[in-house]
Structure 1
Amino acid sequence: MSLLSQLKEMTVVVADTGDIGAIEEFTPRDTTTNPSLITTAAGLPQYQSIVDETLQRAKDTLDADAADKEIAMEAFKHLAVAFGKRILEIIPGRVSTEVDARLSYDMEGTLAMARDLIAEYEEAGVSRDRILIKIASTWEGIKAAEVLEQEGIHCNLTLLFGLHQAIACAEAKVTLISPFVGRILDWYKKDTGRDSYPPSEDPGVQSVTEIYNYYKKFGYKTEIMGASFRNVDEIKELAGCDLLTISPKLLAPLAETDGELPRKLRPDMAENLDIEKKTIDKATFDEMHAADRMANEKLAEGIEGFSTALEELEQLLADRLTRMGQQAAAV
């Protein structure tokens, strides 16, 4: 059996992509997207019809004299939903759709956009049970997710790098967290000057393993979805995790490689570990976050990167809108 087939028997495999063709190829149960992935997909020729339909909808929503930039800002809110709806026609499970990263420290803004996204999906006939709202794992984001979960809106807390973030998410009863394995490895390689780590010593793998064992030890229902992988070995070391979201470039070698894939993470093993239970309030969260240089830097960097991707997407949409106007005028 291929490594991918064996992995699917112990872990829910999720496709980390906005590329609909890749989703059709690898048949994951769930799919995650983020601003960078949507921006990349929106620039591909095969998805221009989705982009154009979204721009037209935004144009119809606003006043007739709205500027292209304003229309583009309105359109990007709908584009992730447009891709999400198309993806949900292919997969049997859930799609993760991200809140504007520029709202990461704005609880009320996050709540408003999350509710708008769910309303748009439901208006299109998509049940909220098939949507995970992606929110950055800031304190404000976690508290927003806690409110949304109480409203029946399920959340995926992303850009998660530390145990303090994971515990706060579990105590908020969020549906799912996405610890970023590869980005943790990137930070440690840069910080230590090392070129590589043995798979079992990979800092990202160790972080997710610690979170997994903590959750299973204390019976938390929040699901753990390892994300942001740099190599196949990281994935193999986390076989047995609740979910793993994997890019097409790593899904392909997993599908093409045969061999035995042992399960590394097991709930019954975690139950016997000696782990101290912690309670995370804002003061404790802030203190632990400040003390964790890696988590502090990577969270800020991730929010900045996703915000930049959104600005690039808005510019792409504005440029496309200008071309659409020029083509209409030439007819």
Structure 2
Amino acid sequence: MSSKLDQLKSMTDVVADTGDIEAIRRFQPQDATTNPSLLLKAAALPHYQSLLSGARDWASKAGGSSEEQMANCCDRFAVDIGREILGIIPGRISTEVDARLSFDTRATMERARKLVRLYEEAGLGRDRVLIKIAATWEGISAARSLEREGINCNLTLLFGFAQAAACADAGVYLISPFVGRILDWYLANTEVQVAHPDDDPGVQSVRRIYRYYKTHSYPTVVMGASFRNVGEIEALAGCDRLTISPALLESLAADHGDLPRQLSPQHNGSDDPQAQPTEGSFRLALNADAMATEKLAEGIRNFIADQSRLEAVISAA
């Protein structure tokens, strides 16, 4: 029997949750995704030192204030890593807007356009790129407009159903619900017991979103992310896409057991009525979900912290 990774690829588009070129070459995913945390790790690897140095030189020649040069360097580094990854994978790379812009719709749109322009100047069309944006109301609003411009978006740091419903209504290309981080919150704050992956609150959340999207014919892609174990992945086999770390890809590749399909567009039946959220209803629903509110804020803080660490690495070099 083929490995569980190969079985998973037959029903789900597998995305590599890494900027590690060698891991991407090994596991041959359809797409790949990066974020400030992964870029920080990449900056420490010998393979990427020439890209980091080149980005720094490019930003210096472009001029501007020290803040502008730093932003240009970070964006160029992200795009250069993305460009190298796109030379290996057949699909798309997700590149993230600075998390410090998560509550500024206009600035998010400007940064997204800049990233797309840098890819296009490198000879890569926008059909190969997804712009990652935090799923705040401001981020979702930016994505709504960007999608109309032909810039496809990946709405990340998605923890609650209110965020998913708003993203679908906005017509975003793809969402990334964070399975493992949802589980983390419930284990830390409730008495939940997870004896089986079906009991996992993160798995349950993605299944609910998937059923809602398919029942109401939303084209937005559901890509489960942030997995803590292979059980979560197996419980979502058949989801549109799953973005998986190299360690868990390795586990799936080494396991030759049977992997039954769990999700299918033909078997949906959502109990959630179709929603057209307003800003007020979105904020109220998000506020009512303590887990989603806390994890969204924490995720933005952590991405900002890693962005600051990346900038410190660049400044010290």
Fold-level match, TM-score > 0.5? yes
CA distance in 2, matches of 1:128, 1:182: 30
Question: Which letter maps to 2:288?
Answer: A
User: Match of 2:267, SS?
Assistant: helix
CA distance in 2, matches of 1:203, 1:110: 31
CA drift at 1:59: 1.1
Map 1:212-227 → 2, pairs under 5 A: 212-227=210-225
User: Match of 1:269, SS?
Assistant: coil
Once the two structures are superposed, what CA deviation does each residue of 1:98-137 show, in whole Å capped at 9, x if it has no partner? 0000000000000000000001110111010000000000
Cα contact 1:71–1:318 (8 A) shared by 2: no
TM-score (norm 2): 0.97
Say yes or no: does 1:261 pair with 2:259.
yes
CA distance in 2, matches of 1:73, 1:277: 40
CA drift at 1:43: 1.0
Gaps of 5+ in 1: 321-331
Cα contact 2:156–2:175 (8 A) shared by 1: yes
CA drift at 1:276: 2.4
Mark the CA change 1:70 to 1:103 in structure 2 (over 3 Å): closer, same or farther. Answer: closer
Match of 1:240 in 2: 238
Mark the CA change 1:45 to 1:218 in structure 2 (over 3 Å): closer, same or farther. Answer: same
User: Match of 2:90, SS?
Assistant: coil
Question: Which letter maps to 1:161?
Answer: F
Question: Which letter maps to 2:164?
Answer: A
Map 1:150-299 → 2, pairs under 5 A: 150-192=148-190, 196-270=194-268, 272-299=269-296
Match of 2:310 in 1: 313
- Give the root-mean-square deviation of aligned CA atoms: 1.3
CA distance in 2, matches of 1:60, 1:82: 17
CA drift at 1:82: 0.8
CA distance in 1, matches of 2:231, 2:311: 36
Once the two structures are superposed, what CA deviation does each residue of 1:273-305 show, in whole Å capped at 9, x if it has no partner? 444222211111011001000000000000000
CA distance in 2, matches of 1:167, 1:194: 25
CA distance in 2, matches of 1:32, 1:216: 24
CA distance in 1, matches of 2:311, 2:58: 15
Compare CA radii of gyration and give the structure with the larger one: 1
CA distance in 1, matches of 2:133, 2:68: 24
Say yes or no: does 1:3 pair with 2:4.
yes
CA distance in 2, matches of 1:12, 1:125: 25
CA distance in 2, matches of 1:195, 1:265: 23
User: Match of 1:267, SS?
Assistant: coil
Gaps of 5+ in 2: none
User: Match of 2:19, SS?
Assistant: coil
Mark the CA change 1:165 to 1:248 in structure 2 (over 3 Å): closer, same or farther. Answer: same
Match of 1:329 in 2: none
Map 1:128-167 → 2, pairs under 5 A: 128-167=126-165
Match of 2:84 in 1: 86
CA distance in 1, matches of 2:173, 2:15: 15
CA drift at 1:195: 7.1
Say yes or no: does 1:29 pair with 2:55.
no
CA distance in 2, matches of 1:277, 1:100: 32
